[in-house]
Chains A and B, each alone.
Chain A
Amino acid sequence: NAGVTQTPKFQVLKTGQSMTLQCAQDMNHEYMSWYRQDPGMGLRLIHYSVGAGITDQGEVPNGYNVSRSTTEDFPLRLLSAAPSQTSVYFCASSYNLQGANTGELFFGEGSRLTVL
């Protein structure tokens, strides 16, 4: 039972470098999302997707790009990393948030990113 898999678990970047956080789920979930977690701030929604080919912005999308070419994968790209992007990033998925579905999210283990 893989569930939601995030890679890498840890990453250190220098300011201005780019990188991609990978997220894959094997539950055939339509909905996928990315959150960042910072002390005292809870979880903040970065981007989300309701299906392949569809993405939208969350609460804090600036500095991040996403794409959803397949149902399984939802990578998060940092084009030019900044120290303010130092955080723990969580990917989460669900069947979908509409109708009779509960919208319960299943989370990955998290990716800890440090930008120097």
Chain B
Amino acid sequence: ELKVEQNPLFLSMQEGKNYTIYCNYSTTSDRLYWYRQDPGKSLESLFVLLSNGAVKQEGRLMASLDTKARLSTLHITAAVHDLSATYFCAGRTYYTDKLIFGTGTRLQVFP
């Protein structure tokens, strides 16, 4: 059964700084997802990574996937307050229809 672990669980960072959220998964996964959740809100899709070495960028966020290391990263560049949210990664093992989520990383960006 796929297990997905994120770290850190909580991240407090200053505006303008860079940081990385890590997502490790336990068994072979053929795709990896990143979602964002604002407090009290639903989840919205950020990135879908479908192959080894995939890299996607949107604004100050960049996600990558290394299937050999079973690792995905979400890199934040020059953080701004609007990025404050909880970020989840999720994976799917080959040929299953179960999307398994990590515990989430709560990001707080302060001035």
By size class, the interface of chain A is 20 to 34
- Knowing A42-B104, A50-B97 touch, does A105 contact B42 (C-beta < 8 A)? no
**Do A31 and B101 have beta carbons less than 8 Å apart?**
no
**Do B103 and A41 have beta carbons less than 8 Å apart?**
yes
Chain A residues 76 to 95 lying within 8 A of chain B, measured CB to CB, are: 90, 92
A41 to B4, CA, bound (A): 11
A70 to B48, CA, bound (A): 28
Residues of B within 8 A of A107 (CB): 42-44
**Do A45 and B100 have beta carbons less than 8 Å apart?**
yes
- Shortest beta-carbon distance from A98 to chain B in Å: 7
Interface of A with B (CB < 8 Å)?
31, 33, 35, 40-45, 48, 50, 56, 58-59, 90, 92, 96-98, 102-110
**Do B103 and A90 have beta carbons less than 8 Å apart?**
no
Residues of A within 8 A of B35 (CB): 105
Chain B residues 64 to 111 lying within 8 A of chain A, measured CB to CB, are: 88, 90, 92, 95-104
Tell me if B26 is interfacial: C-beta within 8 Å of chain A. no
